[in-house]
């Protein structure tokens, strides 16, 4: 059986990668202009109020108390001196006032077919870099030391910031949009759910995998099949079955298609809103609102659809890798349930999954906002190796997509798909899980569904390859 190249897609591909129309761009341009002036106005007004309140409070405080007050600037200076912080020197150059040309460029990238690749020139400037927009300074990084600090060692210093506002319409008051105590309560509730689910998998996947295997045969036309929608339906069915007790496939086809289309549109709208930061509310058209309301399980769908779509894109393009997988899974019986122990005895399959998650991570870009003055381990000074002070409110984006392509970690062939790089275990020790390799996020926000997703993918891959061992590219498709 062969695969139509034009209809396969890479794991972790975001809804942001859909090409948009130029007509929509014109609407966005107008929105951005309004957003710009609204943002500047609210920021200046906020600073003015804070300044007035500070002056008023000082007037009524006894002189003895004034000597003990420390201003935010003084606190930041003290922290910077304590850690020997130095400023980040590299920055993204711009030409227009308030760096509006960078904002325009960002929106063109959003509407392109390969968003993350088009961001590469930004992340190639330096391991940690400044970006100026609207007169404010933000940061982005691919430094594993900084990423580890953001996700783990200084986790409490960061919050979601404006990302919460951008995604609230779709995700609501759920774990992906929460910080602090509310997030901890939600995570504990969901953790208990996954503990229950973990006792049922991977055996519980059997009927859904059987449905996937038979669906491939039914969808084939002239021995060619589009695997992407089938894999999407499978991942959504496993999520809804094990978390809600009813598979997504039990819905009518029209309803299933509506769920998919509404979610895609809502997720794309969130991509626009997150770029508007504190004025994300300016982008809120009726179609977007309706798409968000139509997804009753939007949060779970977001985690599952973009966390793991099983992808044969590289597998069918690499006969050597395919042959090795086929040899390894020959030890798995073709009938009955596949057990966890059997999956764990397939080391090359795990190497294949690691490599797929390296090049197509579940969360390619992540944004955090400092909720207090904090320190990045590296990025300051002329050599970029000194600590960096991040003031309260500063935004920082880390790119796992570009982190996983660093030659300093993954070698000169870092952009090449090569699962063999994981075989001796040395790479994972060098990269360090949660620092140089971030498969399912890391730290306190490590994805609770990691085991679920890996078992789901492993089970499906084994059974599909057992059923269709001669799977290959469609004739005439460039490799």
Binding residues for heme: 447
Bridge partner list, 472 = 2
313's CB contacts (< 8 A; 6+ apart) are 8, 9, 10, 11
Contacts 24+ apart (CB under 8 A), 186-192: 187/448, 190/448, 191/448
231's CB contacts (< 8 A; 6+ apart) are 212, 309, 310, 311, 460
Cis-peptide into 270, omega within 30 deg: no
Residue ranges at the known binding site: 447
362: tokens are 């579940």
Q: Distance (Å, rounded) from C-alpha 402 to C-alpha 139?
A: 15
Q: What is the rounded end-to-end Cα distance, in angstroms, of the chain?
A: 16
46 neighbors 278 (Cβ within 8 angstroms) = no
99 neighbors 133 (Cβ within 8 angstroms) = yes
């Amino acid at each position: 059986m062969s695969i139509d190249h034009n209809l396969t897609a890479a794991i972790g591909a975001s809804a942001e990668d859909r090409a948009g129309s130029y007509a929509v761009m014109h609407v966005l341009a107008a929105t951005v202009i309004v957003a710009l002036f609204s943002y500047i106005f609210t920021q200046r007004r906020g600073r003015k109020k804070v300044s007035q309140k500070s002056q008023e409070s000082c007037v009524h405080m006894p002189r003895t108390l004034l000597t003990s007050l420390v201003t935010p600037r003084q606190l930041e200076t003290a922290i910077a001196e304590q850690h020997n912080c130095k400023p980040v020197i590299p920055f993204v150059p711009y030409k227009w006032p308030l760096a509006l040309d960078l904002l325009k460029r960002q929106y063109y990238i959003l509407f392109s077919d390969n968003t993350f690749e088009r961001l590469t020139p930004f992340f190639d400037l330096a391991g940690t870099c400044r970006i100026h927009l609207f007169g404010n300074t933000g940061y982005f990084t691919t430094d594993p030391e900084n990423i580890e600090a953001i996700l783990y060692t200084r986790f409490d210093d960061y919050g979601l910031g404006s990302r919460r506002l951008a995604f609230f319409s779709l995700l609501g008051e759920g774990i992906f949009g929460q910080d602090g105590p509310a997030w901890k309560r939600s995570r504990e509730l969901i953790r208990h759910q996954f503990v229950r689910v973990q006792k049922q998998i991977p055996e519980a996947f059997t009927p859904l995998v059987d449905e996937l295997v038979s669906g491939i045969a039914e969808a084939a036309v002239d021995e060619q099949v589009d695997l992407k929608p089938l894999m999407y339906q499978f991942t959504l069915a496993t999520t809804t079955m094990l978390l809600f007790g009813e598979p997504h496939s039990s819905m009518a086809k029209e309803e299933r298609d509506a769920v998919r289309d509404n979610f895609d549109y809502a997720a794309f709208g969130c991509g626009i809103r997150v770029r508007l930061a504190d004025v994300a509310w300016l982008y809120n058209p009726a179609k977007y609102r309706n798409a968000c309301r139509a997804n009753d399980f939007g949060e779970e769908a977001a985690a599952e659809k973009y966390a793991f779509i099983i992808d044969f894109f590289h597998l069918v393009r690499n006969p050597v890798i395919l042959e090795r997988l086929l040899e390894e899974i020959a030890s798995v019986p073709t009938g009955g349930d596949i057990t966890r122990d059997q999956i764990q005895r397939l080391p090359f399959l795990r190497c294949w999954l690691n490599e797929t998650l390296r090049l197509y991570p579940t969360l390619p870009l992540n944004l955090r906002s400092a909720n207090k003055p904090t320190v990045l381990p590296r990025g300051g000074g002329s050599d970029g190796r000194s600590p960096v002070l991040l003031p309260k409110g500063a935004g920082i984006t880390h790119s796992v997509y570009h982190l996983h392509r660093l030659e300093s970690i993954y070698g000169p062939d870092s952009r090449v798909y090569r699962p063999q790089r994981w075989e001796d275990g040395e790479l994972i020790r060098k990269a360090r899980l949660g620092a140089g390799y971030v498969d399912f996020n890391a730290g306190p926000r490590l994805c609770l569904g990691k085991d679920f997703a890996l078992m789901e993918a492993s089970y499906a891959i084994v059974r599909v390859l057992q059923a269709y061992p001669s799977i290959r590219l469609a004739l005439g498709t460039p490799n």
